[in-house]
Chain A
Amino acid sequence: MAQYHLNTPLTGEEIAALRLDDIVYLSGDLYVMMYPAHFTRIMDMKRRGEAPPMDLQGAAIYHTGTVFRRLEGGGYDFRGIGATTSSKFNEYTPAFIQAAGIRAIIGKGGMDQPSLEAMRKWGCVYLAVAGGCSALYTEKVETIVQEYWPQKSWADNMLRLRVRDYGPLFVSMDAHGGSLYSVDPLQESKRREAVYARLGLPIP
């Protein structure tokens, strides 16, 4: 298990070198994507042949909610960040990896088999943060570089963050088909069998 300090944008070679259980610290820009609309809006623009307002080639996106206040006279008071559940975005992910050219997805809880397959095919990794750990990760955020598509609630905006040594990020799905999550139905049923057996429940 190795440790890497990487800068964005990420290259295919850098991503290919990462294996399960490696630890990564990222510096550069992270794109905050918290809601399905962030994915569908970018995909819709690409389908229409329009360029989205952010360059996602080699980018790291982050399934995260943030807490911040805009300061009078500019700048931000940045108060919180942490992963949201990545499985909410399973259905948007394979096509998005291909179309946007992203190289890393940061989140928690892992993603499904089609997402893993897209990561292998297009050279992308899933980097897990420890969930519910805003206090530790917030200090690695330097500032908000840009807010995209302002909504009624500031919490709904897509963001570009500038970070320094953001981590620890755990390589939990790599670009070679490896995953720490039970994307394998057989593995899933073995887990269930162990639990059922302990409780004396009939195993289906």
Chain B
Amino acid sequence: MEKLEKERLKQAVKEVWIRSLVCIPPDVLRALEEARAAESSPRAQKYLDILLENARCAKEKNCFICQDSGLPGFFLRCSLGFPYDGSLREAFDEALRELTAGEFPMRPMAVDPLTREDRCDNTGVNVPVLHIELEPGLDYMEITAVPKGAGSGFWGSLCFLPPSAGASGVKKFVVDTVLRAGSNPCPPLIVGVGIGGTMEETARLATVAASRPLDQPQPRSDLAALEQELKEALNLSGIGPMGAGGDTSVLAVHIACSAAHKPWLPVAVNINCWPGRRAVCRLYADGRIEHLE
């Protein structure tokens, strides 16, 4: 099979990244519209109207939903047989660099965490963050772009609970994390909760949960009940859209689980701001790029 050129992969990365910054996912848009219809606070209604108007305006004008294009992150899925054998790091770095330099100018946000040294091109050591999952039989590479804004990302948290803490311990950690964030992370929020795994797996699960489409049901019935309970509870907090009060503090709470070590109950919370930015595309072996809703 003919190998895919790096330029084709870069094109897919650029397209999906821009879409993630410009188009609010349709499921998030629907959740915002439903929240607007159910909201009782006039102030919150006004804010939700503006958020919805901004979503329409960004898509129409092909411009930023939010000026903070975030720290770039991507989840990839492909099979070992996918015909690209170049450096993924090089392709993703170049894609972000070329966009930042002028094709789609963005604020350069990636810096060394301690020295704050800035390459000024939205790349850095291991950034863009890449997660790669191998799945036999796929005849495409699926690329999910998940830009992480500073305002919401700052409030993420992870802890190791003792197993005796149980579901109540998980609930307490989740709501304490969201209440601590309060008005800061641009609510209404999409709250991703990772439970189980090793430390890095717990954090990854929380991120995966936060980017699950809002119309995709939780397959485990006990977790579905827990998600609903946490959502209803957090919407009693009165935080409201933009923290100015109201019924709509979270649009969803999503949970993802992996097995845990016997003496552990690790929990991570990853908070997404209201636009729930994400975009997915598939790059096929023949170079075709398909954008998914």
Does A94 lie at the interface of the complex (its beta carbon under 8 Å from any beta carbon of B)? no
**Which residues of A77-95 have CB atoms within 8 Å of chain B's CB atoms?**
77, 79-82, 84-85, 87
CB pair B182–A182 under 8 Å, yes or no, is yes
**Which residues of A27-69 have CB atoms within 8 Å of chain B's CB atoms?**
64-69
Instruction: Determine the chain A residues whose CB is within 8 A of the CB of B68 once the complex forms.
Output: 65, 82, 84
CB pair B118–A133 under 8 Å, yes or no, is no
CA distance A66 to B68 in the complex (A): 8
Instruction: Determine the chain B residues whose CB is within 8 A of the CB of A131 once the complex forms.
Output: 66, 151, 186, 242, 273-274
Instruction: Determine the chain A residues whose CB is within 8 A of the CB of B57 once the complex forms.
Output: 135-136
Total interface residues on B, CB under 8 Å, equals 54
CB pair A65–B151 under 8 Å, yes or no, is no
Does B159 lie at the interface of the complex (its beta carbon under 8 Å from any beta carbon of A)? no
Instruction: Determine the chain A residues whose CB is within 8 A of the CB of B243 once the complex forms.
Output: 109-110, 180-181
Does A166 lie at the interface of the complex (its beta carbon under 8 Å from any beta carbon of B)? no
CB pair B244–A133 under 8 Å, yes or no, is no
Interface-facing stretch out of A6-14, A97-105, A117-125, A189-197: A189-197
Contact A79-B171, Cβ < 8 Å, known A84-B150, A128-B242: no
Instruction: Determine the chain B residues whose CB is within 8 A of the CB of A81 once the complex forms.
Output: 67
Does A199 lie at the interface of the complex (its beta carbon under 8 Å from any beta carbon of B)? yes
Pick from A84, A87, A181, A195: contact of B236, CB under 8 Å: A195
Residue of B nearest to A133 (CB): B54
CB pair B61–A132 under 8 Å, yes or no, is no
Does A115 lie at the interface of the complex (its beta carbon under 8 Å from any beta carbon of B)? no
**Which residues of A157-204 have CB atoms within 8 Å of chain B's CB atoms?**
168, 170, 172, 180-182, 191-192, 194-196, 198-201
Does B232 lie at the interface of the complex (its beta carbon under 8 Å from any beta carbon of A)? yes
Pick from A66, A132, A196: contact of B186, CB under 8 Å: A132
Given contacts A79-B64, A180-B243, A191-B238, 14 further A-B contacts (CB under 8 A): A21-B43, A109-B182, A110-B243, A130-B242, A131-B273, A132-B149, A132-B273, A132-B275, A136-B54, A181-B244, A196-B233, A199-B172, A200-B168, A201-B172
28 interchain pairs, CB-CB under 8 A: A66-B67, A67-B64, A69-B105, A77-B105, A79-B63, A84-B68, A85-B150, A108-B242, A110-B244, A131-B242, A131-B274, A132-B51, A133-B65, A134-B63, A134-B66, A134-B67, A135-B55, A152-B120, A153-B108, A153-B120, A172-B244, A181-B243, A195-B233, A196-B175, A196-B233, A198-B229, A199-B172, A201-B171
